[in-house]
Every structure is written in structure tokens, then in C-alpha cells.
Amino acid sequence: MAKFLFFALFCIANALAQSNDVYVPYRKGSLWGYSDANGKVIIEPVYDKVDIKSIEGQYKVYKTGKAGIIDGSGSVVFEPEFDSIFARYYNPRGHMFFVQKKGLWGLYTHEGKEMVPIKYNLLDKFFFHRGHLTDGKIFMAKKGNEYYIITNEDKVLESGLQAAVEMSHDGVKLKKGNKFALFNLSESRTVTGFEFDSLAMIDQDFDYADAKGKIFYGAIGNKNYAVSIDGKKEELKQKPDLTENGLSVMSSFIELYTQREEITLIAEEVNPDFYSTLRTNGKHEYKPAQIPGWNAGYVIKSNKKQLIGLEGRRGEFFIPPVYGKITVFDSWGKTVVLYNDKKAGLYNYETSTLLIPHNYDAIHDMGVKVLESKGKVGIFDDNGRGLALGMEGTVLIEPAYDKFITRIDLNSRSRSDFYIYEFIDKGKTCYVGSNGVKFFEDSK
């Protein structure tokens, strides 16, 4: 009995922990905070905007157009006073914050401690660096027209540069005047003089016996050199194949769903006369006509009615010619939209299943199926793995919103299959979970 009670308490605690592991943006009126997966508010809505994704348990929030950072308990790491904030990760695993104010950048720890004062026009870490001991400790900065190599304590290692371009393999190409030098990130120092007229990486597949172990190329006048990461150079008999190098500064990635290409087939537009043979399956008579750009089968039009259906190329499926319009998608799914009396339903021709009855004005594919009805939209997601509102293994949100934006996987440690769906309604952003919970309250 005691063992059973302990196990039950463990399961309850684990379930509560899993629920609290999810932080979902929650709106009350026009203000934002966070709730758990069940809609229970964790961080009170006091911000103008909040970010969806966690930064290792921290969240970016906004007030009056300024950005700040809070942690999962709501404690303030940075007051919302910066024009921009973004995180960079380094090895060993961790992150730091680059912050911008009045057009200038500085660097802070994830705990909010200043590392580099806000004084540079550009500031970023080197991305391809492999030396864990110095990753996150050496940075490229720019002030005015001059580039610098600095440490995370704002110690200047190189100044007066016209450029600092990362070449991977711990090498950075420095330009001063019209000459180039090689900087070694692992050793935190410039390992050659500014003696090269050009400097690049040798292609990793190069086959030059006299350049064995040398991974950089340098030219001085008419002479070509292979240069090692420690700065030693060896003259080459000929110029090797080179690899282009470049440094992407302040880059970001935005994940968006876009509407797939849709091909709409209307009975009046289909010309089956290319095939003269009248077919019958015992119930329907029809003539086939090939669908341009869609290789899953043929469209068919009834010989007696201006209606269409679909037939598999090898007869593996048959949709009778009783529909006025059919929409097919260029996505991976095995679904088509069938219009019956001007109402749309979703049909899976692989399983011969009507997934959605003919209750909607239109259905579109935007990674999920967007349902339209009376000027409002909802979604049907047959990839969603949350608690189903429709059939098993699906998520159905009936049309109640003005616009669908995207589906977001929160990548929670305990709820990796938990999705939220972003909509616009009455000019405001709102979220609905794959468990059917609405993460917003309308203004009273």
C-alpha cells in the first residue's frame, strides 16, 4: 500500500512538473505574460509583448518598444531598456546577451553582469571557432570605421583594422591598410605579420604535397605560400584551389509557414476529349483527363453531368465525379479538398477517409489545413500530436479568428509534442494550444 501511494504521488508530481515546464505567451487585454499548458498564469501579463521561445529558461519581454530579459519565475534580469537584445551560445554550453542602446552594442552575461560596455557599432562572436577554451571570450567589434579583436573583458588584442573575416579552423583574416595577417583564435594572438597581399583558405581537398598540413594561403608579390595555423609559411610552386570565406554578423532566423501552391480543378474547365474512350466503374460513366502538374492521378468528368472526381493512375483510389470543384496541394500529404454544394470537405484518398465533413467555405494548406467559414478561420492539423479535439491524432480548432499565422512547437523538455497556434483576431495576436486551451482573455 505504501509503495502504491508513493508511486501515485510520484506520478502526480511528475504530471505537475510537466505542465509547469511549458511557458506559453498569455494575453490579458493588450498586455502579455506567460501561463502553463493549462492556461494557469505563471508570470502576470504586464508587458506589451513577449517572445515565444525560451532562451535556456529566460525570456525576452518588451515595454514601450524596449527589450528586457526575465527568468522563468518572473524575476527581472534586464529591465526593458534596450533597443535590441539577442543571445549567442558558446562552448562549454551557455549563452550571453548582446544588447543595443542608441545604435551601439555591448555584451552581458546571462545573469545580467556587464562584460563589454555599450560602445561599439558592431559586436559579435566568431561562429566556426573550435577552441572551447576561448570560445565566448574573443569577439569582433567595430567602432566608427575601425575594426577590433577584443576579449570578453574589453581588452583590445588588435585595433586599426579595416576588416576581420573568419576563415574557420580557428583562423581569422585581419586587414590593416592594404596588407593581411592571420589571427589564431585558440592562441588569442596574431601569428603572422601584416605581410600578405592576399590571404584565404586552401580547399580542404587540395592535393599539394609541398603544402601538407598547411590550411591557409598567402600571397606576397609573385610568391605563393601555404600558411599553418601557428603562422609558419612554406612557399608553393603554384597557386592552390581556394575556398571563399565570409563572416555573417548579427544574423537571425525566422521560421514561418507559407501557403502551399494549390491547383483548383473546376468541372467546366476540364477537357476530357483527349481521351475518347468512355469509362464506367459500374456506377459512374466518365472520361479521363490528365491533371497538369499533379502526378498522383487523373481528373475525371462525368459524361452526363458537369461534375468531376479523381481516379488513381493505377486505379488505387476512386473519387466519384459528383463534385463541382476539387483542390489539390503540392505538399506531402495525401489529401484533396472536395467541394459539395459550394461547401468544402477534406478527403484523404490514400485511406479513402473523409477527414473533414463539407461544413466550410474553403480549406487551404499552410503547413496545417486552414478552415474558412463566414469570414473566420480555424485549423485542422493532421500532424499535431497533442490532445485531439477532432479524430484521433489530429487537432481541430473551429473557425473563430480573423487570420492564421503559424504553428509553433515550444520544444519543451517534457512536452516536446506540444504545439500552439498563432492567430490574429480583432487586430490582436492570440494563441490556442493543441490541447484546446485559449491563452488569452479578451478585454472587458
pLDDT in tens, 18-50: 345 789 999 999 999 999 999 999 999 999 999
β-partners of residue 280 are 285
87: exposed, middle or buried (Cβ count in 10 Å: 0-12, 13-18, 19+): middle
Q: Please give the pLDDT value at position 265.
A: 82
Residues 6 or more apart whose Cβ sits within 8 Å of residue 74 = 33, 42, 43, 44
Q: Does residue 85 register a pLDDT over 80?
A: yes
Q: Please give the pLDDT value at position 317.
A: 84
Q: Report the C-alpha gap between 384 and 338 in whole angstroms.
A: 22
CB 24 within 8 A of CB 433: yes
Looking up cell 492567430 gives 423
More confident residue, 165 or 288: 165
pTM exceeding the 0.85 threshold for the entire prediction: no
Single-letter amino acid, residue 257: Y
The pLDDT tens digits of the residues spanning 45-75 come to 999 999 998 898 999 999 999 999 999 999 9
Q: Please give the pLDDT value at position 164.
A: 92
Q: What angle do CA 395, 401, 402 make, to 5 degrees?
A: 135
CB 166 within 8 A of CB 184: no
- DSSP secondary structure of 321-342: EEESEEEEESSSS-EEEEEETT
How would you classify the pairing of strands 440-441 and 24-28?
A: parallel
The pLDDT tens digits of the residues spanning 137-146 come to 999 999 999 9
